[in-house]
């Protein structure tokens, strides 16, 4: 499933899968939580993060992930403040006092991780990686490691159901995502090349995973952002199965010209896409805007919004490229 051709040490299959998942996230926000999409798209990011997680000391992981996840969280939140200021002052024509109160509340929300919309994922991923890295460093025995991961996972589920949105910095989602991180880390030790060589075994495993995924969609529901775990814990197994199927398909679909390269590029810019998608989610009732333009097709709404977001990401990417050229 995971083995694939690499480009500059990047796993192109996983880049493709991430690109597909991030675009489906945008589509799902317009559609309104489709069960098929939510059944796997966020777990996929956690699983891939676990697969790509390096063996290093906990303190080194803390430094690296603070730069890679917390810094973007702060940067994206500052961008939200800037856009919020312009919307309040120049679009809604709020007074300076009202605008100041609004910005102060936004700063408090950012610091307390309240009402942060899509940025919850960055905090949950940060927590899950640190928790799992700590477990991996403390417990060398695989059985004990698995037991502790499961305890953390069920502890996160208890917190999510008992306290809901009152949880501290999305710790409950981070604790539950620790299981996905652990499965991803375990997956990179499996002999995938033998599975690819034996077509009968490979197709059989794919078929079993597909059955589990379909059953999970039919009888359960998983929306990690909203702490919905209908059919728990089968919905978790279904999410892993769905991720397997998507990555297996990505291994072949990525070879299609234009489609493959486009989604691989999206997969290499998921953070930036998340940032601009978050702005749309917070400040724009996209359906209302499109219907005001006479557009009622959800697919067309998605294509226009995705095009705008990817255009902004491309501009930022070009600016980064220019800065690097100037430094040289």
* Residue 141 per-residue DSSP state: S
End-to-end CA distance of the chain: 40
Report how far apart, in Å, the C-alpha atoms of 159 and of each of 115, 148, 171 are: 19, 16, 9
Is 168 in contact with 120 (CB distance < 8 Å)? no
Is 237 in contact with 212 (CB distance < 8 Å)? yes
Is 213 in contact with 40 (CB distance < 8 Å)? yes
Is 286 in contact with 301 (CB distance < 8 Å)? yes
Tens of each residue's pLDDT in the chain, 328 residues: 444 444 457 899 999 999 999 999 999 999 886 789 999 999 999 999 999 999 999 999 999 999 999 999 999 999 999 998 998 888 888 889 999 998 998 898 888 888 888 999 999 999 999 999 999 999 999 999 999 999 999 999 999 988 876 668 899 999 999 999 999 999 988 877 777 778 888 889 999 999 999 999 999 999 998 899 999 999 999 999 999 999 999 999 999 999 999 999 999 999 999 999 999 988 888 889 999 999 999 999 999 999 999 999 999 988 877 766 676 6
Cross-strand bridge partners of residue 221: 230
Cα–Cα dist 237/216, whole Å? 8
Cα–Cα dist 260/290, whole Å? 29
pLDDT at 6: 46
Element (H or E) spanning 327, and its range? helix 298-327
Residue spans of the domains in the chain: they are: 6-322
pLDDT at 9: 76
pLDDT at 90: 86
């Amino acid at each position: 499933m995971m083995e694939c051709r690499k480009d500059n040490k990047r796993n192109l299959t996983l880049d493709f899968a991430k690109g597909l998942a991030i675009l489906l996230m945008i589509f799902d926000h317009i559609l309104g939580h489709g069960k098929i999409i939510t059944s796997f798209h966020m777990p996929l990011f956690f699983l891939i993060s676990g697969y790509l997680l390096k063996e290093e000391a906990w303190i080194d992981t803390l430094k690296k992930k603070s730069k890679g996840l917390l810094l973007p969280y702060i940067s994206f939140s500052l961008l939200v403040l800037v856009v919020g200021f312009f919307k309040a002052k120049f679009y809604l024509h709020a007074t300076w006092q009202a605008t100041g109160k609004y910005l102060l509340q936004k700063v408090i929300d950012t610091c307390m991780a309240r009402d942060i919309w899509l940025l919850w994922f960055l905090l949950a991923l940060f927590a899950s990686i640190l928790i799992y890295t700590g477990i991996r460093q403390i417990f060398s025995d695989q059985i004990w490691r698995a037991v502790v991961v499961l305890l953390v996972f069920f502890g996160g589920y208890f917190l999510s159901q008992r306290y809901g949105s009152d949880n501290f910095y999305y710790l409950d989602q981070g604790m539950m995502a620790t299981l996905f991180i652990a499965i991803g880390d375990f997956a990179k030790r499996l002999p995938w090349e033998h599975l690819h060589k034996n077509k009968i075994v490979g197709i059989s495993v794919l078929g079993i995973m597909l059955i589990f995924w379909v059953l999970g969609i039919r009888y359960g529901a998983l929306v990690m952002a909203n702490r919905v775990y209908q059919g728990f814990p089968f919905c978790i197994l279904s999410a892993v199965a769905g991720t397997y199927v998507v990555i297996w398909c990505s291994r072949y679909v990525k070879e299609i010209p234009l489609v493959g390269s486009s989604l691989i590029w999206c997969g290499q810019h998921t953070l930036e896409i998340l940032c601009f998608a978050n702005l749309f989610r917070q400040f724009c009732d996209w359906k209302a805007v499109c219907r005001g333009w006479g557009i009622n097709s959800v697919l067309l709404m998605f294509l226009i919004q995705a095009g705008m977001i990817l255009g902004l990401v491309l501009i930022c990417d070009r600016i980064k490229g220019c800065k690097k050229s100037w430094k040289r």
